[in-house]
Amino acid sequence: MEAHGDRAVAVGGDNYAPILTGDGARAVSLPREALRPPAEVAAPAGLDNLSVRPGLFVGRTAELDRLDGALADPGGVVVQAVHGLGGIGKSTLAAYWAATRTHGCAPIRWITADNSSSVQEGLVALAGALEPPLTDDALPPEALAERALQWLATHTGWLLLLDNVNDPADIAPLLARAHARGRFLITSRLATPWHGIPTVLRLDVLEETESLTLLTRIATTAGPRDLDGAAELCAELGHLPLAVEQVAAYLAQSPLPPPTCTYLPSTRRRCTATARSPPQPNASSPGSGTSPWTGSPPSSPRPRTCCAPWPGTPPTTSPPSWPTAPPTRPR
């Protein structure tokens, strides 16, 4: 027996073993889990990746009730969308509802969905959480994402929160593959493309009493303090939840002077300057309004029911969580 040519291999006798030839060739030993159909994979304990502490949530009763009602309707897949300005509390509402309401969904998975790559990363993370042995380079990311899709398509009762969707096309394959099986809750700044989705909520700024409650809770984290002018300050900020939260965090770090002496005068100066020269759109955050550090507060119709987000905005790779203390600088 002989072999001809570069890197040729000849094997004789009763030999059983992998044979690798060529540059970059490697052998991959798949665990038994990789051969098991996803339909036979049970959800292990601890699969949820949503962590919340609802102490700083205020208002939004009507919106929470609407989400409850949509989930209670009979039928297959339920897709719900929440849209509104940046910093208005969309992700906060979604996470709070998922964590505190009696919806009976399990597991609950948070996926950042601002682009198609992020959606795939979320599916890969789900596949790894379902079957940890597969994350050891056993399967490429594309194969892991496919297994996650197959698992979703063959199981019921789960809830996926798709956060910050910028293009409905990024989540369309996921919605199509997992039809009639689980529940979706989508957050997005987009207002127009949600045709065919039965429940669409539009969020607005806080009510006056709710923005004052939010500011007071955060600003007094370290203890009681003088909040003279706080209501007027909230009005100057347009009752935008993120703006109120950022200013309250600033006040919490400067406990001595009241808002009338520290923040309110500078806010008015910025508003006056902005009135003379309209602000330019924030390229990195289109349609998000303005933060208290960069311009005048957005004006918008008064909502009937609103909520406030917990300190900080949700991270891009994991679900929102409340910090143990207010942030020390704006985000």
Is 125:110 a contact under the CB 8 Å cutoff?
no
Please check whether residues 192 and 270 belong to one and the same domain: no
Rg of the Cα trace of the chain? 25
The answer to the question of residue 233 being in a domain is: yes
Residue percentage of the chain with pLDDT more than 70: 62
Residues 246 and 123 in one domain: no
Same domain, yes or no: 187 and 224: no
Residue 5 lies in a domain: no
Residues 53 and 141 in one domain: yes
CB atoms within 10 A of CB 264: 19
Whether residue 22 is contained in a domain is answered as: no
**70 and 129 part of one domain:** yes
Show which of 142, 177, 202 is a domain's final residue. Answer: 202
Q: What is the pLDDT of residue 48?
A: 93
Q: Is the pLDDT of residue 254 over 90?
A: no
Q: Which helix (H) or strand (E) holds 245?
A: helix 241-253
Decide if 298 contacts 290 (C-beta within 8 A): yes
What is the four-CA torsion angle of 49, 55, 60, 66, rounded to 10 degrees? 40
Please tell me the distance from the alpha carbon of residue 243 to that of residue 135, in angstroms, as a whole number: 40
CATH code of 110's domain: 3.40.50.300
Structure tokens at 66: 């609407």
Indicate the residue among 202, 225, 257 that finishes a domain: 202
pLDDT tens profile 34-47? 678 889 999 998 89
Host domain of residue 241: 208-276
The DSSP line for 147-208 is HHHHHHHT--S-EEEEES-S-GGGTHHHHHHTTTTSEEEEEES--S--TT-SEEEE-----H
Please give the pLDDT value at position 190: 85
| Backbone angles phi and psi of 109, in degrees to 5 | -125, 135
Residues 156 and 235 in one domain: no
Model confidence at 298, pLDDT cuts 50, 70, 90, reads very low
* Judgement on whether residues 198 and 219 belong to the same structural domain of the protein: no
| Arithmetic mean of pLDDT, 153-175 | 91
Shared-domain flag, residues 59 and 193: yes
Domain annotation covers residue 330: no
Residues 146, 258 share a domain: no
Does residue 37 fall inside a structural domain? Answer: no
Indicate if 198 and 217 belong to the same structural domain: no
Flag whether pLDDT at 155 surpasses 80: yes
Query: Domain total for the chain?
Result: 2
Q: Which of 14-28, 86-100, 142-156, 162-176 has the lowest mean pLDDT?
A: 14-28
- Same-domain pairing of 112 and 137: yes
Same domain assignment for residues 174 and 215? no
Question: Is 107 contained in some domain?
Answer: yes
Q: Tell which wins on pLDDT, 8 or 250.
A: 250
Q: Residues 146-170: what's their mean pLDDT?
A: 93
Answer whether residue 164 is part of any domain: yes
Note whether residue 121 is domain-resident. Answer: yes
For residue 10, give both structure tokens. 């000849």
> 185: closest CA among 103, 115, 241, 124?
103
Domain boundary among 261, 276, 291: 276
pLDDT above 90: percentage of residues in the chain: 24
pLDDT at residue 28 tops 90: no
Distance of CA 132 to the CA centre of its chain: 23
pLDDT value, residue 331: 40
> Confidence band (pLDDT; 50, 70, 90) for 1?
low
